[in-house]
Structure 1
């Protein structure tokens, strides 16, 4: 279609959308397209997820606003899901890729999902379609690899001639996706101006946010990585300060509360580590990108990763110190982990720092319990999660706050002292008032908080 034909099909609602990958970001993305009046089909290899969606069960209960949108677009028959690419791609005008880009065991970004779908698009993509990549990728992956994969060697497809390809990197924060989709500007880049113009028209229709034009795909992806690596590095800086402040008797939370009053200070907080599918992966994507240009020692990003990945070890050291004060043997003790998700108030454990903490506790010979409101009566990391917080506390010699879920912010030190078998509390998220903890008689250790 020409630009004008695309524009007419957008306005008439006849444009057909296929979103490949309907996970944490892809499903809300697909629902947003459908909610704008465009017929949308979600494609995923997870047959259980597809069946759940088609049966009217929304899997992301921790995403405010989207359960209502989900019900609306299903009722209007604007959204459905399938596992069969041959039933989705050939009938679609726009293909949106929202696929995972994880790391392998050597911390090298893995783009196999995109490569596989690229080969399938070569087979099933209709001439004149537009491919939009929302997945977070290294700069240059579109131009240097994915474009050629979709084109293939048989001259059936040629980018810029009979199909378009561009990017609009997702910017959503899990747990706040609808809010971010309605508020945060989006970046648009493409291999040619026509595709760029069409993508902007489509996204303006769906999201009604500012769209920032990028000169190409690689620049748009560079911006996305830069913003996330910035966060990872700043968290690493705060985590390293936390280690220093603990030794010097300075409370990092007092420092940060005062520091954030300065107009150009952007506050970040210490913790047990940085998890999730974004920040750790994005830093390694940037490291890998640098290596392709001969920068084998991208020292500042590598150092940031090393600091953040060391924080689970530090949490264990705090626990050992507290047990030493309590004159209790950590071996065969029972440790309760409060929160295992990688961030508060969402149901997601990707690269959570809770996992290495649990592993290290097992190595020390401790028994581990898990209480997380999002995983009651579930099995995680080989452990049956608890369903009752009070009973779990009664059976535990110590607790470690790993994730600051809202319900944990109301835990009173006096209650913990009277309930735990032993008064050991490790607060990796600094949600407990350390003075109240001391007054209650807890043996309290917090990341970035000196002993009182």
Structure 2
């Protein structure tokens, strides 16, 4: 019979992944419930307001709709839900070890409110290492007396939404599903197939799907680390890394990544540590992934060193504190998300070297910026500054009047931390242009 449109699908965690997923299932015709522990988030959603700061997409939230219900209370909605998707954060702790606190809390809250004997489906979407769904959710089931197969079915479907990408929404992402019960797994696959124009594939047991998601982001981190390492080494030979990458990209099987001040967000800086932890558990410590993490985490400090060097060269006799304007603070263009942003480490390193750091980011609330930063509301009116760093390539940053920026701020030192500007054009305007990977 499968999962029908009149079944209720409930999403736990209404953030950058959960909310778009909930809206996609609602648009596909299902009855949809949503749970978030934040009363502010739920109140906003009830009023049709998105809690997400993402200017890349327009989000329309239903109001006064009998197929849409959101709440902070698990007891209100879990007992009458047929399928529950858990999309909560999976960070690392201060020692870079996997922190499954949110998964454990959400899973217990879900499973403890499920009625017995109804074979409700619980799908974990949060990024984890292989074995978590079976060990953590399965362990909670055993503790609460919920028998898998009779009372509850566990499955895993990795979230693949890429916030900020206009061409990679929920409907543009292929889905994979792991479930020990092949029949139910294929029914879940059909359900996810209703919200994507791409493929939906049943891949077998839970651990296959879990490992797939971990490997996807692990590969990206390693690829980016190579680009960043090249951006450090090649300029010492007088070679611009972007020219090399452009040349290498003429080969059909070369996967190009652009170097920058570092990577951020809830996936790439975090997920490799789940693999690193897994490798340690099985007694085969990872060398490649740990090296990639060290490389990418070093980039904010490398950029800080380069900027300090440029300032010393340009102002060798200056006694006052240098003042630098950083354009962008979020980890990614068109988002106001500051999780794991490399700009935090960059600005802290500059501040520790005695630089007064000003930051302009129209998508980030000033209250989210750390104390060593001076937030500004107008990038053209910062007084006399000694240098500008492009840190996040928002459209609002790229569309700045660069002639006016140079004139109004009485400065011509520009460091492109994302290699998104034309060096030739900037130099023609009179800028002293540099950037990641520039010799």
TM over 0.5: yes
Alignment-derived partner of residue 109 in structure 1: 98
Q: Give the TM-score, by structure 2 length.
A: 0.93
Q: Distance in 2 between matches of 1:61 and 1:412?
A: 24
3-state secondary structure, aligned to 1:280: coil
SS at match of 2:148: coil
Q: Which residue of 2 aligns with 1:171?
A: 160
Alpha-carbon spacing, 1:213–1:90, altered in 2? closer, same or farther (3 Å)? same
* Residue of structure 2 in register with 1:36 after alignment: 28
Q: How many Å apart are 1:443 and its aligned residue?
A: 3.2
Whether contact under 8 Å (1:411, 1:432) holds in the other structure is no
- 415-424 or 234-243: bigger deviation: 415-424
Instruction: Write the distance in 1 (CA, Å) between the matches of 2:273 and 2:428.
Output: 44
Corresponding residue SS for 1:206: coil
Instruction: Please tell me whether the aligned partners of residues 20 and 170 of structure 2 are also in contact (alpha carbons under 8 angstroms).
Output: no
Show structure 2 runs of 5+ residues with no match.
none
1:386 counterpart = 2:376: yes
Q: State how far apart, in whole Å, the 2-side matches of 1:89 and 1:67 are.
A: 25
Contact 1:333–1:397 (8 Å) recurs in 2:
yes
Structure that is richer in helix per residue: 1
Q: Say which SS state the counterpart of residue 324 (structure 2) adopts.
A: strand
Whole-Å separation in 1 of the counterparts to 2:12 and 2:85: 6
Residue number among 304, 308, 323 corresponding to 2:296 in the alignment = 308
Equivalences, count: 435
Q: Secondary structure, in 3 states, of the residue corresponding to 1:449? A: coil
Could you tell me which residue of structure 1 aligns to residue 125 of structure 2?
134
Note the C-alpha offset of 1:344: 1.1
Q: Could you say what secondary structure the match of 1:426 adopts?
A: strand
| Contact persistence 1:66–1:178 (CA under 8 A) | no
> Partners of 2:230 and 2:215 in 1: how far apart?
22
User: Aligned with 1:161: secondary structure?
Assistant: coil
TM alignment of 1:119-198, pairs within 5 A? 119-127=108-116, 128-152=119-143, 155=145, 157-176=146-165, 179-198=168-187
Distance of aligned partners of 1:111 and 1:330 in 2 relative to their CA distance in 1, 3 Å threshold: farther
Q: Is the 8 A contact 1:18 1:95 kept in 2?
A: yes
Q: Give the Cα separation in 1 of the matches to 2:92 and 2:300.
A: 19
Pair 1:346 & 2:331 matched: no
SS in 1 for 2:32: strand
User: In the aligned structure 2, how far is the partner of 1:186 from the partner of 1:323?
Assistant: 48
State the Cα deviation string for residues 143-200 of structure 1 (Å, max 9, x = none).
2222111331x53x11122210101111111023774322221111112123212211
- Quote how far apart the aligned CAs of 1:424 are: 2.0
Cα deviation digits, residues 42-62 of structure 1 (max 9, x gap) = 111111111111122122352
Give the Cα separation in 1 of the matches to 2:78 and 2:109. Answer: 9
The equivalent residue for 1:428 is 417
CA distance in 2: counterparts of 1:178 and 1:35, whole angstroms: 18
Alpha-carbon separation, structure 1, partners of 2:271 and 2:407: 43
Secondary structure in structure 1 of the residue aligned to 2:190:
helix
